[in-house]
Structure 1
């Protein structure tokens, strides 16, 4: 768990940095996939799922 959490923090900082400098490519998409995979194994997974469910519910109620 400790290694997974530190990897999540490291990859999260790297993704934030890449977004900040606007430098994203397909390799970075793989990095984001690895981040999501590791995030799902941590204590933060239920909070991330609840957040995504909330965003999904909000977007589902929008009418264009």
Structure 2
């Protein structure tokens, strides 16, 4: 019985570690998408941005909204 409880505890610890790693990977992925989106918005020619109704100065806000909701 004690051996089985030890195995269950180790399995639970592994699940917690994997959940933690998954959360970190998702956060890193979202941050990379935010940086990429912001960089592309800032690099957009001003006339193109205006045609789309965007201001390059709003790149941070727009990227945040696009990636994080």
TM-score band by shorter chain is 0.3 to 0.5
Q: Which has the higher contact order (CA 8 A, sep 6+)?
A: 1
> Greater CA radius of gyration, 1 or 2?
2
Q: Structure 1-normalised TM-score?
A: 0.40
More helix by share: 2
